[in-house]
Amino acid sequence: MSPYEERTAPVAPFQKPFFRPQTMHHILEPDDALETFLAAQGAPAWRARGIRRWLLQQRATSFEAMTDLPKQLRERLAEAFTVLTTTVASHQQDPDGTEKLLLQLADGERIECVMLRDGVRRTVCISSQVGCAMGCVFCASGLDGVVRNLTSGEIIEQLVQLTALLPEEERISHIVVMGMGEPLANLANLLPALEVAESAEGFGISQRRITISTVGLPPALDRLTESCPRYHLAVSLHAPDDSLRSKIVPVNRAIGLDAVLAAADRYWEASGRRLTFEYVLLGGLNDAPQQAKALVRLLRGRQALLNVIPYNAVAGLPYREPSGAARTAFLEVLREGGVNVQVRRRKGGKIDAACGQLRRVSVGTASGEPVLHTQIPIKSTSASTAPKITPSQASH
């Protein structure tokens, strides 16, 4: 048995989601329920800051652990609020330090999140939705469509659960919203969660170290540009023209590359940050020199970094790894064309952890049939402060 197998908790196959009634309020929701509760108890308002510090910085998972609170207040808090709404259904570890959690939500749905280690960096890849409506052909997360948006509290709870994997002296340094779901389709819940991630009372993660990764939904991207253009943005292209992109990223049929790029440009103007574009290199599909030339034309004049992510073929899917020669020729055309390009190295390969794959295997499909393992290349980002690694678990 490999070290990986020894450390991997078993996942029950095809287990039907169960419903656990949730009557108490989730304390990690970034709302004023805690302040309202404290006022009703006659407790000072400053207690709220202390309680959040316990939860987000001192890793308390129960009110009982908050030893500087009066005992009666702790008991009443425990009656009114739940601290964690998720349970760890599976925990996988790769020898390279990558760890992946399959979290079961209160309603029985499951999501994935990942911790990546690279030097002193502790990058987490988190999900924004259960499932995904974008339908990218190589992605397990999108195979069954979207189930629902995650709440802000559920997004924050991924950070709490991942922080628990780290020794006391370590903290999350970077966040990439690249897991299951399309982040821009859940901006209303995502942005409050990222505010908690950034805040000094929360996780204290610099906004420059937070990346939102998207296939590009122009109206939502414009809302982000208007309201909060401070995060690093990564846009998944995967093709240099509409015809091919609509095959790989079906949602493109209703949008079109021009609109995606125009919205990305508006974000760039507002944020002043270099954009990242992602391109999963699929053998025989989007890896021809002509396609590289078209990509050069597409990106010309933009201050952007292009991440090329060679696909790793998996039995059962009609996509294959690009040949070494095709990859080299593709990159040569890009570099000669003046594109700022880099090939992403992969992390977590041993845990076979394509985004959405673990969830699908654990809950089965609607037909009850097993799901093929779809090892999905993950996009990553690469600004100076962005993560340097490509989690093989991420998607988009």
- State the residues that interact with ligand SF4 by CB under 6 A: 132, 134-136, 139, 141-142, 180-182, 215, 355, 395-396
Q: State which H helix or E strand residue 76 sits in.
A: helix 71-80
Residue nearest to ligand SF4 (CB): 142
Q: What is the dihedral of CA 255, 258, 263, 268, to 10 degrees?
A: 150
Closest separation in Å from C-beta 70 to ligand SF4: 45
Min dist CB 101 to ligand SF4, Å, is 17
Catalytic pick from 99, 109, 112, 157?
A: 112
Closest contact distance (angstroms) between CB of 357 and ligand SF4 is 11
Nearer to ligand SF4, 51 or 221 (CB): 221
Give the separation between CA 139 and CA 280, rounded to whole angstroms.
Answer: 11
109 is catalytic: no
112 is an active site residue: yes
Instruction: Give least dist CB 234 to ligand SF4, A.
Output: 11
Cβ nearer to ligand SF4, comparing 56 with 125? 125
From the CB of residue 321, how many other CB atoms can be counted at a distance below 10 Å?
18
Q: Where are the alpha helices (DSSP H) in 98-186?
A: 152-163
- What are phi and psi for residue 123, nearest 5 degrees? -95, 135
Considering beta carbons, is residue 347 or 379 the nearer one to ligand SF4?
A: 379
Please, are residues 344 and 308 in contact by the beta-carbon 8 Å criterion? yes
Report the half-sphere exposure of 62 (CA within 13 A, side-chain side).
4
Look at the block and give the residue holding tokens 């992109």. 245
- Residue of 392, 91, 135 whose CA lies nearest to 253: 135
Which residue lies nearer to ligand SF4 by CB, 69 or 217? Answer: 217
* Both tokens assigned to 45: 């308002």
Render the burial of 71-93: b for 16+ CB within 10 Å, e for the rest.
eebbebbeebbebbbbeebbbbb
Spatial distance between the Cα atoms of 261 and 299, rounded to a whole number of angstroms: 9
Q: Least Å distance between CB 152 and ligand SF4?
A: 19
Taking the least distance from each CB to ligand SF4, the nearer of 69 and 143 is 143
Q: CA 114, CA 126: separation in Å to the nearest integer?
A: 7
- Residues annotated as catalytic are 112, 355
